[in-house]
Amino acid sequence: MWNKRELQRKIEEWLQEDIGFGDVTTMSTIPGTETGTGILYAKEAGIIAGLSVAEQVFATVDPALSFTSRVQEGARVEKGEQIADVSGSVRSILSGERLALNLLQRMSGIATLTRQYADAVAGTKARVVDTRKTTPGLRMLEKYAVRVGGGHNHRYGLYDAVMIKDNHIKGAGGIAQAVAAARAAIPHTMKIEVEAESLGQVQEALAAGADIIMLDNMPNETMREAVAMIGGRAVVEASGGVTLETIGGIAQTGVDVISVGALTHSVKALDISLDLNTRKR
C-alpha cells in the first residue's frame, strides 16, 4: 500500500509543523486528566479513504488513544454518517485532530472524485489513471486514494517508466531517436511511452516500437482513427483536459487508458469533522 516507515517519518514531521513546542490552547484549557471520545463524521456524501492514516496520526500523538473505524475503507457515506471515533486523552485527541482530518479529507476527496470518473467510463474497456500532478510530499497517499476510488495509477515517478514527451522528442532529434536511445539505456522490463500530438506522430511511435502511445489533446474522431491505426500493437492512452463531461466520449473511442490530472491537482477535500463526545447531524 505504502512505505509505513516513510509515512511515519512524514507524520512526525507534519505534527512537528503543526504542534511545534506544544498545543498552547489545549494545554492551557483542558486538564491533563480529562478523557473523552472524538466522533469523526461526514458533513457531505462521498467515498472514504485514509482511515488507517488518521489512526496512525492519533497513535503517533498518543499511543494510548483508541481509534475505531465505523465504516470500511472505500465505503460511500452520506451526510451526517459517523466514520470513526477516537477515545482517550482529550488533550491528545485535540492535538492530533487537524492533521488527521487534513489527510482524511484530502484522500477522501480524491477517492470521491475518482469514483465519479470511474463510473463515467463503466461499460467500456478504458481505465482511469492518475498523473504525477500530485501535492509534494503526499504522492503515495494521493495515489493510494485514487485506487480506493476505483482508479489506477500511472507511473509513480520519473524512475519507473520512460515517458517521452514533446520536449524529449525535440531534445533527442525525433521520436525514433528518442525511443532508440531509451531502449538502449533501460532494462528489458521497463516500458516506453511516447506522447503523440498527431496521427503522423502516432505512426512514428509505432514504427519506433513504443509500448504505449499517449494521444495528447486529440479530438475524439482523431483518437478513434489513432486507435484503429495502432490496432492493438501498443497500449493507447488518452490525455489532456479530460473532464467528467468529456471522459465518456473519450472512452467510446476505444482507448485503453485515460489519464486525469484533476484527480489530484485540483480536487476538493471531502468535508469531515470531529466533535468531542457528541455527534451532530
Q: Are residues 69 and 127 in the same domain?
A: no
- Out of 55, 193, 195, 237, the active site residue is 195
Q: Are residues 220 and 272 in the same domain?
A: no
Phi-psi bin for 122: left (phi > 0), alpha (psi -120 to 50), beta?
beta
Q: Are residues 88 and 210 in the same domain?
A: no
Is 216 part of the annotated catalytic residue set? Answer: yes
Residue 281 lies in a domain: no
Q: Are residues 25 and 161 in the same domain?
A: no
Residue 23 lies in a domain: yes
Q: Which three cell numbers stand for residue 56?
A: 496512525
Contacts of 44 (CB under 8 A, 6+ apart): 79, 270, 271
Q: Are residues 238 and 133 in the same domain?
A: yes
Is 211 part of the annotated catalytic residue set? Answer: no
Residue 216 lies in a domain: yes
Residue 44 lies in a domain: yes
Residue 62 lies in a domain: yes
CATH of the domain at 241: 3.20.20.70
pLDDT per residue as tens digits for the range 200-220: 999 999 999 999 999 999 999
- Out of 165, 191, 224, 279, the active site residue is 165
- Out of 70, 98, 183, 191, the active site residue is 98
Q: Are residues 34 and 148 in the same domain?
A: no
Q: Are residues 180 and 63 in the same domain?
A: no
Is 85 part of the annotated catalytic residue set? Answer: no
Q: Are residues 51 and 73 in the same domain?
A: yes
Q: Are residues 108 and 133 in the same domain?
A: no
Residue 260 lies in a domain: yes
Q: Are residues 123 and 185 in the same domain?
A: yes
Is 170 part of the annotated catalytic residue set? Answer: no
Q: Are residues 128 and 176 in the same domain?
A: yes
Structural domain range at position 27: 4-113+268-276
Q: Are residues 127 and 66 in the same domain?
A: no
Where the chain has pLDDT below 50, the residues are 279-281
CATH of the domain at 17: 3.90.1170.20
Residue 188 lies in a domain: yes
pTM for the whole thing? 0.95
Domains of the chain: total: 2
Residue 90 lies in a domain: yes
Backbone angles phi, psi at 159, to 5 degrees: -105, -10
Is 195 part of the annotated catalytic residue set? Answer: yes
pLDDT at 18: 97
- Out of 127, 133, 191, 224, the active site residue is 133
pLDDT at 4: 86
- Out of 23, 216, 237, 256, the active site residue is 216
